[in-house]
Structure 1
Amino acid sequence: MFAENALWSLKPIKEIKIPINKTTNWGLNSIDNFILRKLSEKSLSPTTRADRRSIIRRASYDLTGLPPTPETVSEFLGDPDIDAIAFAKVVDKLLESKAYGEKWGRHWLDVVRYADTAGENSDHPVEDAWRYRNWVIQSLNNDMPYNQFVREQIAGDILAIGKNGKEFADNIIASGYLAIARRFGHDIDKRMYLTYEDVIDNLGKTFLGLSIACARCHDHKHDPITSADYYALYGVMASSRLPFPGCEPKQQPRDLVPLVTGDVIEENNEWEQKLKKLQHDLIENPKKELIKVASESYRMLSAGHLPVGKSVNLSSDPIKLNVKKGEAIQISIAPNTNHGADTTLVELKIKHQSDSGNQEWSTQDLVDILTKGNPLNSNNATWYFLDIGPEGPRLLSEKAEEIDGQSSLKKWSIGGLPSVAINNGNDPIKAWTEIPARSFFVHPSADSPVAVTWISPVTGKIEIELKMADGHASGDGVIWQLQHFANHKIHSSYEKLAVDKEGIAKIEEHKNKKPISQTDYAYAVAEGKPEDYPIHNRGDAKDLGPIVKRRFLTVLGGEILGDKNSSGRLDLADKIVSPKNPLTARVMVNRIWAWHFGRGIVQTLNDFGNHGTLPTHPELLDYLAKEFISGGWSIKNMHRIIMNSATYQQSAQSGTGVKYYAGFERRRLNAEEIRDSILLLSGMLDESPGREHPFPPKSKWNFSQHAPFADEYFTSKRSVYVMRKRNRISSFFSLFDGPDPNASTANRSQTTVPSQALYFMNDPFFHDCADQLSANIRAIGPVERLEYAYQLLFSRPANKTDHEDFEAFAKVMAPNISNDPEEQDTEIWRSYSRILMSSNEFLYLD
């Protein structure tokens, strides 16, 4: 069917002898000797070196996706070192920028078809996919060795074993590479075989440059990959647990991976159980006991509705009853139908006559001492101020020594309401309503009545006088009740409730010992049930053939992967990055080369098989692969080797010669570079890293095939942080050839269509950025404006022709605006800013 030896990419990477260049001193490093030899064979010559302005703009966009600042350009132009040395310093500086990881992270996210949605028919949001995106960016900024970069993405959860903290979490997050695979159909649990195909397809293309998924239905027609090879890898993936993002019949996600170790989770669970016990023993039990005792001895003395603007006076006919020491009298106020203006003035007076003399207790006695405590002792009696709503009974525990800036207003409350309060001043105070001088008042909350309780310090007959008045003439009044709890145990129950404060303190102390404040989760992979899987005859998941052992591709050794205790993903990762594997280093250096030059040494970046193209410079490819491995798999080191070559530093050229690198091929900025640049140059770019997206709460998810997730979220952050949907690609990225997140994008295509020009003419976002740029330009002196604009956008000074063009434009525009010079100046610069930001000089790199 095929001859294995015919596939060039499977041959071992050779030790390459660097060609000797005897005819010219053009070259700067070994790359140039390979390029020059091929140019000689094709009767071509390299072009001249690019000028410093062109090369710094090219390098800045290549490494950071952003234009160089005028200050950076000026520093480079003024560097007295020879061009090669000065440029090497520029490269080093750009590689240290955090913008580097954002630019090159986007390259990688293209290849691994990153998206923030799942791709099934309702395209469910994937809330935690962003963690993998940010891990990629940070890993590239840290120059993580590529072999480690690969291993963590394929088996990060396994590598995390025995680690803690950030290292543990990062390993877990890295396996999000496998997790972000597309989901399919209506009920995705029934279509996981398609997701495994997507994983295998992307893994093969991304790391090996092989179209392994072509062997799902039959042996590969062109490359040495059998159907058994495919299902051997299928078993590895099916032995792993991928997260479930949700789908139409099962809206909620599951199987996300916690970003803390099992020990921490267990410790946290123990902490949670102890917290529940403390809350039960110190708070819930006293509440239950008080409710029980109160219900056994309950007696209603009086009750009623206090209408708006009215009062109640029981003083002329006091309530007389016998009490025992420790029993309670309680007045409670609750909202009527409507809650709001429920401030209620209360004067409760209790009198007792005995042989030893007369005693009296009153809420008026509390006006000067209210905030000394709750419970509060006065004249041998104890007063309690309570919330008796759904969360109660509980003491009002929050003390305020002033209300609305008024120091004579003081209160006890919980969360502001319900409250018991006083005005201890000698004058009325105008607050939310007018509060009388020397008054005691209460205010319930919407669902919680407020209560004032008096514990009797005596045994015998008492008289109760009660006056109440509406303190805020609005709404529909309040409901009030005066009760007697005729059980001496009620006092001890209140005392236990008072211990609530100590309980809260103990609970707060325990809360401060929580192992983790919250458990974050990653959209990541975990080990599943290790198992070998059968071949699906003709790709039909219902027509099963023989079982295939989990193993690597036969043509790359066919070693067994995993065992009864493991999926085999770590073994797979190790085989992929093995120095004996000739594909991995070749594929990656070819990508790096292509992302600098616009074309790869192998132009089919994802296909090193027989359907792919042959390398134009096979020895150069192997030389770079060897350098990559011997240099510790450092991607940044590869940038330095490539960019410090004379080949990279050539001036721009068109024609067939650029295929062999006779000159640098001019290119247009890609979608992200356009968007990020116009944000940056307008001063509107938020350069801080992006995080999660503002998806709707999971509890409200109800996405379907007919009403899929389709939100768009504006952000002024860099484009790599923009939310990407699978099923509905945003119009801007579609217009300017952004990646399709349903499939691996090895290299961006470039189209030129009329709608792109219309974007610059009509799009509100572009116009907003241009308007802001024009405002920034107009903020400086008129003489310097054009120079400032050209340095900012084009990294060069404005020349005589530029000034003449602007003056001609302004002369034509001015009469069509108004007679007001200020309006003319504003509109001229707004229009000219749009022209500059949509010009070819801005949109293309030389």
Structure 2
Amino acid sequence: MARWLVSIGMLVALGWTTFAAAADSVPDKKGIAFFEKRIRPVLVESCYECHSTKEGAKLKGGLAIDSREGLLQGGETGPAIVPGSPEDSLLIEAIRHDGLEMPPEKKLPEMVIADFVAWVKMGAPDPRVGGKAPAARKEIDVEAGRQFWAFQPPKAVAPPSVKDKQWSKSDVDKFVLAALEKNKLKPVADTDRRTWIRRVTLDLVGLIPTPAEIDGYVNDKSPQAAEAVVDRLLASPQFGERWGRHWLDVARFAESNGNTDNVTYPYAWRYRDYVIKSFNSDKPFDQFIREQLAGDLLPSENTKQRDDLLVATGFLALGSKPRAQNNPDFQMDVIAEQIEVATTGFMALTVACARCHDHKFDPIPTSEYYAMAGLFTSTDTLYSAGGGQGNGRQQNTGFHELNGDPNMAEARQKHSTALLELRDKRQKLTAELKRMGAVEKEKPANKNAKAKQNPKKAAKKQAAAKPEEMPPVEVKVPKDASPEEADKIKQLGEDLRHCVDEIKELQANAPPAGELAMGVRDDKKPADCQICIRGDSNNRGATVPRGVISVATIGELPKVDPKQSGRLELANWIASPNNPLTARVAANRVWQHLFGRGLVASVDNFGELGERASHPELLDQLALQFVRDGWSVKKLVRSLVLTRSYGLASSHVAKSYEADPDNIFLWRHSPHRMDSDQIRDAILAVSGQLDLETMAGSIVSKSPEEVVQQGRLNPATFSDAQVRNRSIYLPIVRNAMPEALELFDAPDPSLVIGVRDVTTVPSQSLFLMNSQFLVQHSRHFAERLLAVGDLGDSARVALAFRIALNRDPSPKESAESTEFVKRSESVIEFSEKDKEQLRVRAWAAFCQALLASAEFRYVE
């Protein structure tokens, strides 16, 4: 890759247009996930009966929709879909009941139709492709399925012998070199020290190194110099922020539910902080798993540990939530999302695909999906102040309570239940009085009531209001009421007054509130789950005992304690060293973050449709080493970044590129663009504005109604240009991500994302040219440079290069840069008479050129 990819002169000539180094193709994994989650279940439930080749009946209209080919070929009226064009797709016309009508009995809900339109618009991604996907099984043979590589236990093997005995620094290097030699490839030379420390610093803490840190390493000639750098980075609190962010991508962390109302999660930040602390303390990954799936069921030594365990279960509560109103599938939709994050996140298995039918490609029967679903139907999910929308049958108060003794928590629980019952009684009494015509009107609680303007908001405020602030009800006996009705009205009115008095008294004597956290807890009456035939919650089949996925089990299946949900057994099963997937998947995720591509490229899918391992024996050794080292992420990271393979240059060799363009066999280090968090954090750091202090709480939790309005971030009260903390602390609101993150491919927080997309689009260049964020921080960078006294322009340019690009400029770059500053001054002086400001603006223009360059954004 060229060093200085954007010449200063070209920036001036073309109005600061930024040229990307390369446009990486966008993988369709998000589209496939969308299909599996939103489209396939509807097709199975509503369409297969008449249009499936596997149903045994004659196809109606000659249309088969159980394969992509069938949809493209269509039936008697033509192709069912035109990928990318919903308006030209007969399928969309039919489900809209616009001429054609499908399904004929009842039109699909508008939200489902919108999903189909979005799916066709994105190109109708569909894994059901003939000749590419394996044929669907008629009957699942679990024992045969266990022969698949991912379901076999990792095998210990000796490092392979290699021809070049001097090259390797570790066993990892021997596995890499053996594959290179087998494929007649040669590794490039080692990278230089400046490039290596920039690379390792960005990989481990997500920040670019300072000039002092670079000089310290470059000038350290001891054999342990690299080890000292790595140990310093691993001990830095920024390590947990960087690697915690990786896990938050997988955990689909967000601070809102993502549906039409997009209600905020005011306590989601506690889970974020738990993750950061876990990586900084190098918590054993198996313990990390157990805490997130069943922390509420684990023993604790003190109140603080107990609180941490409860917060950890927020992992299961953070997901996007469909609207509960008039949605019979709400409970099972939430459970499907929990199964997906637990199995895909920890084991890279797409178990959720077995919700409507036996898994088409992996040996996972529908019965085992519902065995796992039973673990979560026996669990209450605590995520809403409104309560009552947990998975289980018991109404809940909405959140875990922290920092309190159990007796006080129990008192708050009883108080909340009593208050809900009294308010329900009040509502019923009022409704009965209204029915009898005894309520003339309900006076507003105060003159600022705005129910007519915003009835939803008014209802929410009323539900949370103190009793004395709730609108009083005037009860009067109608003139035409009979004596019996009059007596009844008087009694109801008296009951209502007593009820209101009780509410006021209960509210006045409320126990002190504790700190709150999202999470889960066992339902009071755990029970097994019935199969939902074709995923339809209203069409129930046989009840299946709670359990786990048998094909991923070595030895006996765990037995669920009938008095508990079974989440503890699930957690122990996944976190077991005998689980064939968990350690492999974790090690592969670490490898991917350091080398740019997993040993299994499909990091979220180790099943039949996933990629095969490029270095299967190496992956097994890493998994076994990970377990031997106590499931330590830091030890695994340390061992990998100190390999020779990690330290290769990113040099382009035409012959090697022709043979291995995707660098599968690691003949060089793959250059890549920083992710959105790194770009923003690097700009803040270079400008001298980055605040490395941990943010207390969250912007969303402090003022949710001000930050999020109508489901979007409110630009009047929030601007990421005003936030100096690291990007991990920015508000992550579904469907409303901060611009600086969204433009550079921040992950969709509604999906499990192990690998972020990397795109190159014009809007990114426009952001770098015109955004308030970059203009503001370019000025701060200029002020930082000018604050260093007694420097000539050439020396100041060199300092800017060292801060932003971690290298010295070439003589040509130095000359061009100083000339650019002078020319900028001559242009700006027509509008700026203040000489000091003139100089700041000229240097800010130069700084923006550096920050907008491709070299700044790319890691070699």
Seen in structure 2, the aligned counterparts of structure 1 residues 65 and 694 have a Cα distance that, compared at 3 Å, is closer
Q: 2:320 aligns to what?
A: 182
Q: 2:311 aligns with which of 159, 173, 179?
A: 173
Distance of 2:610 and 2:375 partners within structure 1: 27
How far apart are the structure 2 equivalents of 1:221 and 1:561? 27
1:133/1:214 Cα in 2 relative to 1: closer, same or farther (>3 Å)? same
1:601 to 591, 599, 602: 599
SS in 2 for 1:175: helix
1:184 aligned partner, one-letter code: P
Would the alpha carbon gap of residues 547 and 759 (structure 1) be closer, same or farther in structure 2, given more than 3 Å must change? same
Shift of 1:653: 3.4
**Deviations 1:307-352 (Å, cap 9, x if unpaired)?**
xxxxxxxxxxxxxxxxxxxxxxxxxxxxxxxxxxxxxxxxxxxxxx
Q: How far does residue 21 in structure 1 lie from its aligned partner after superposition?
A: 2.9
2:639 to 627, 638, 641: 641
Q: Is 1:164 the equivalent of 2:302?
A: yes
Alignment partner, residue 120 of structure 1: 259
Deviation larger for 204-213 or 707-716 = 707-716
Mapping of residues 559-708 of structure 1, within 5 Å: 559-654=557-652, 655=657, 656=660, 658-695=663-700, 707-708=710-711
Question: Do structure 1's residue 45 and structure 2's residue 48 form an aligned pair?
Answer: no
Corresponding residue to 1:34 among 175, 178, 191: 175
Deviation, 1:70, is: 1.2
Task: Identify the residue that residue 743 of structure 2 maps to in structure 1.
Answer: 735
**How far apart are residue 686 of structure 1 and its match?**
1.6
Gaps of 5+ in 1: 273-515
* Shift in alpha-carbon separation, 1:188–1:834, aligned structure 2, 3 A: farther
Query: CA contact under 8 A between 2:266 and 2:704: conserved in structure 1?
Result: no
1:196-245 Cα shifts (integer Å, max 9, x gaps): 00010111111111000000000001101110110011000111110142
- Match of residue 815, structure 2, among 804, 808, 825: 804
1:816 paired with 2:827, answer yes
SS across alignment from 1:242: strand
**Aligned: 1:265 with 2:408:** yes
Shift in CA distance, 243/615, structure 1 to aligned 2, threshold 3 Å: same
Cα distance in 1 for residues equivalent to 2:243 and 2:758: 19
> 1:810 Cα shift?
2.7
Q: 532, 539, 542: which one pairs with 2:535? A: 539
CA positional deviation for 1:6:
4.5
Please say if residues 94 and 100 of structure 1, whose CA atoms lie closer than 8 Å, have aligned partners that are also in contact: yes
1:92 counterpart = 2:254: no
What SS does the corresponding residue of 1:60 show, helix, strand or coil? helix
Q: Does 1:748 align with 2:756?
A: yes
Mapped partners of 2:368, 2:156: distance in 1: 30
SS at match of 2:294: helix
Contact kept, 8 Å, 2:404 with 2:514, in 1: the verdict is no
Deviations along 1:413-432, whole A, 9 cap, x unmatched? Answer: xxxxxxxxxxxxxxxxxxxx
Residues 701-738 of structure 1 deviation map (CA, whole Å, 9 limit, x = unaligned): 9999xx43544634221101111111333333221011
Q: Is the 8 A contact 1:690 1:717 kept in 2?
A: yes
- SS of 1:205's equivalent? helix
Amino acid at match of 2:309: N
TM-score, length-normalised on structure 1? 0.68
Question: How far apart are 1:575 and its partner, in Å?
Answer: 0.5
Alpha-carbon spacing, 1:702–1:207, altered in 2? closer, same or farther (3 Å) = closer
Number of the residue aligned with 2:195? 54
Higher strand share: 1
Going from structure 1 to structure 2, the CA distance change for 1:698 and 1:87 (only over 3 Å counts) comes to closer
Report whether the alignment pairs 1:553 with 2:549.
yes
CA contact (8 A) 2:708 2:714 kept: no
Secondary structure of the structure 2 residue equivalent to 1:659: coil
Aligned positions of 1:363-442 closer than 5 A: none
In structure 2, C-alpha distance between the alignment counterparts of 1:610 and 1:697, rounded to whole Å: 45
Counterpart for residue 717 of structure 1? 725
Write the distance in 2 (CA, Å) between the matches of 1:776 and 1:154: 47
1:210 aligns with 2:349: yes
Higher helix share: 2
**Per the alignment, in what secondary structure is the counterpart of residue 225 of structure 1?**
coil
Q: What's the CA shift string for 1:399-419, capped at 9, x where partnerless?
A: xxxxxxxxxxxxxxxxxxxxx
Structure 2 counterpart of 1:845, one-letter code: V
Q: Tell me what 2:272 maps to.
A: 133
Query: 3-state DSSP class of the match of 2:278?
Result: helix
The aligned amino acid for 1:521 is L
Q: CA deviation at 1:562?
A: 2.6
Counterpart of 1:767?
775
Whichever residue aligns with residue 171 of structure 1, its letter is L
Matched, 1:8 2:149: yes
Residue 559 and residue 753 in structure 1: after superposition, are their counterparts in 2 closer, same or farther (change >3 A)? same
Task: Return closer, same or farther for 1:701/1:194 CA change in 2, 3 Å cut-off.
Answer: farther
Matched position secondary structure for 2:382: coil
For residue 144 of structure 1, give the secondary structure of its aligned residue in structure 2.
Answer: coil
TM-score, normalised to structure 2, is 0.66
Structure 1 vs Structure 2: percent identity of aligned residues? 34
Q: Deviations over 1:514-565 (max 9, x none)?
A: xx98511111111113110100000001000100100111213472443331
Report the secondary structure of 1:787's partner residue.
helix
User: Superposition RMSD on alpha carbons, in Å?
Assistant: 2.9
- Quote the offset at 1:247 in angstroms: 7.7
* Residues 458-477 of structure 1: pairs in structure 2 closer than 5 A: none
In the other structure, the counterpart of 1:501 is none
Instruction: Give unpaired runs (5+ residues) of structure 2.
Output: 1-136, 416-510
The aligned residue for residue 71 of structure 1 is 212
Report the CA distance shift for 1:689/1:264 in structure 2 as closer, same or farther (over 3 A): farther
**Over alpha carbons, which structure has the higher Rg?**
1
- Does structure 2 conserve the Cα–Cα contact (< 8 Å) formed by 1:120 and 1:188? no
Q: Which amino acid aligns with 1:527?
A: D
2:841 equivalent among 827, 832, 838: 827
Shift of 1:812: 2.9
Instruction: Write the deviation string for residues 585-610 of structure 1: whole angstroms up to 9, x where unpaired.
Output: 00000000001111000000010000
Letter in 1 for 2:743: L
Higher relative contact order structure (alpha carbons within 8 Å, sequence separation ≥ 6): 1
Q: Tell me the equivalent position of 1:306.
A: none
**Distance of 2:218 and 2:406 partners within structure 1:** 57
